[in-house]
């Protein structure tokens, strides 16, 4: 399903924790990981300036750190390369993803620098919105006075129990195809969730349509050998997803996002953003390939 992964890092303790977990995605077919560090350019960089001298120090240090990280990753039997780029982090991440033809981007939502991605308008938000491939969003929580980290992704089996929220759209169907592909990663249990809109709660036709859609999805997943739990909930979608994810103790949320055009997104900015911000669980966001990178 996936052949290569792009991992942006700022070398923070949180990013280092996530790096230790990258081997977890190997069962999905990941054969190569591309590491990326982006140095954001300041307003004035000149050869005679102190800022430029500092940039040279940062560059040398980044090259050393990337090389060390590459060597650690390769001990898990995965090929690894690294790139060091200058520019706007989100733009560079999307550009490199296109150039390297990666099939997955993995990045965090908390940490230092551009890993503070839970904020609307942040780098993570922009990457999720414009990336041409699925984005695996991993949340890291800093705990303790000494800055120790507790990563919800570390040492867990991310493909143990997946929650798949669906609105029966084409984009949800695309996300479902990724869930099916996780069979290769030994995924066995899938929770299928549909959240009914308030205005349709008393519509008999809608209830029958919903049941038919859920039964079709169940049949498809069971055909592939998955154990399936179907849940129909009511209320706010993001809140329902959060509640079900907690009650069902899921290890990953796979959610599709869809838009009316390349720049106008219906789900992102609402449900997807809320899900990413609310959850400590990893979230895989799948969006249409037709959306072009931003400029």
Closest CA to 137 of 289, 294, 281, 295: 281
Residue 119 has a pLDDT of: 37
> CB-side exposure of 206: number of CA atoms within 13 Å?
12
Tens of pLDDT, residue by residue over 79-103, are 999 999 988 899 999 999 999 999 9
Question: Which segment, 92-106, 108-122, 131-145, is predicted with the most confidence on average?
Answer: 92-106
Average pLDDT over residues 21-49: 78
Quick one: tokens of 215? Answer: 């039964």
Q: What is the pLDDT of residue 27?
A: 83
Judge contact between 29 and 3, C-beta under 8 A: yes
User: For a pLDDT cut of 90, what percent of the chain falls above it?
Assistant: 46
Range in 35-44, 53-62, 171-180, 256-265 with the lowest mean pLDDT: 256-265
Residues 277-294: tens digit of each pLDDT = 776 788 999 986 654 444
pLDDT of 156 above 70: no
Most confident of 9-23, 65-79, 264-278: 65-79
What 3-state DSSP class applies to 262? coil
Q: 68: pLDDT confidence band, cut at 50, 70 and 90?
A: very high
Q: What is the distance, to the nearest Å, from the Cα of residue 227 to the centroid of all Cα atoms in its chain? A: 24
Torsion of CA 199, 204, 205, 208, to 10 degrees: 110
Token pair belonging to 191? 């929770």
**How far apart, in whole angstroms, are the C-alpha atoms of residue 4 and residue 78?**
10
Which of the 8 DSSP states describes residue 198? Answer: G
Between residues 44 and 8, which one has the greater pLDDT? 8
For residues 129-152, give the mean pLDDT.
67
pLDDT attached to residue 45:
52
In this structure, how many other beta carbons lie within 10 angstroms of the beta carbon of residue 178?
19
Q: How far apart are CA 47 and CA 224, in angstroms?
A: 60
Count of beta carbons in the 10 Å neighbourhood of residue 235: 13
CA dist 287 and 94 (Å) reads 14
DSSP 100: H
Domains of the chain: 4-151 (3.40.50.620), 161-286 (3.40.50.620)
- pTM value is 0.84
Sign of the CA dihedral 17, 276, 278, 230? negative
Average pLDDT over residues 111-118: 38
Nearest-10 Cα torsion for 110, 113, 115, 121: 100
CA dihedral 24, 26, 28, 33 (to 10 degrees): 110
DSSP tag of 293: P
Pair 106, 138: CB distance under 8 Å? yes
CA–CA gap between residue 30 and residue 104 (Å, rounded): 9
Going by pLDDT thresholds of 50, 70 and 90, the confidence category of residue 30 is very high
pLDDT value, residue 173: 93
DSSP helix/strand/coil, 33: strand
């Amino acid at each position: 399903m996936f052949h290569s992964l792009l991992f942006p890092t700022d070398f923070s303790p949180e990013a280092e924790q996530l790096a230790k977990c990258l081997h977890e995605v190997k069962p999905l077919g990941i054969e190569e990981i591309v590491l990326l560090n982006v140095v954001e350019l300041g307003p004035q960089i000149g050869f005679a300036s102190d800022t430029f001298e500092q940039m040279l120090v940062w560059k040398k240090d980044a090259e050393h750190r990337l090389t060390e990280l590459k060597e650690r990753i390769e001990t898990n039997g995965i090929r690894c390369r690294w790139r060091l780029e200058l520019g706007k982090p989100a733009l560079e991440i999307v550009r490199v993803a296109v150039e390297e033809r990666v099939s997955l981007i993995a990045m965090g939502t908390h940490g230092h620098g551009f890993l503070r991605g839970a904020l609307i308008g942040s780098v993570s938000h922009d990457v999720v919105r414009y990336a041409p491939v699925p984005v695996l969003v991993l949340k890291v929580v800093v705990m303790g006075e000494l800055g120790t980290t507790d990563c919800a992704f570390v040492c867990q089996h991310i493909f143990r129990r997946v929650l798949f929220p669906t609105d029966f759209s084409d984009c949800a169907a695309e996300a479902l195809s990724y869930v099916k592909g996780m069979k290769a990663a030994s995924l066995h249990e899938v929770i299928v969730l549909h959240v009914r809109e308030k205005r349709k709660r008393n519509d008999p036709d809608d209830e029958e349509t919903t049941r038919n859609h859920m039964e079709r999805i169940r049949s498809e997943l069971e055909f592939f050998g998955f154990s399936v739990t179907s849940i129909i909930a009511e209320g706010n979608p993001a809140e329902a997803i959060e509640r079900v994810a907690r009650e069902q103790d899921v290890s990953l949320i796979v959610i599709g996002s869809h838009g009316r055009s390349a720049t106008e997104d219906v789900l992102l900015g609402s449900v997807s953003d809320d899900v990413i911000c609310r959850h400590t669980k990893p979230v895989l966001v799948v969006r249409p390939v037709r959306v072009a990178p931003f400029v």
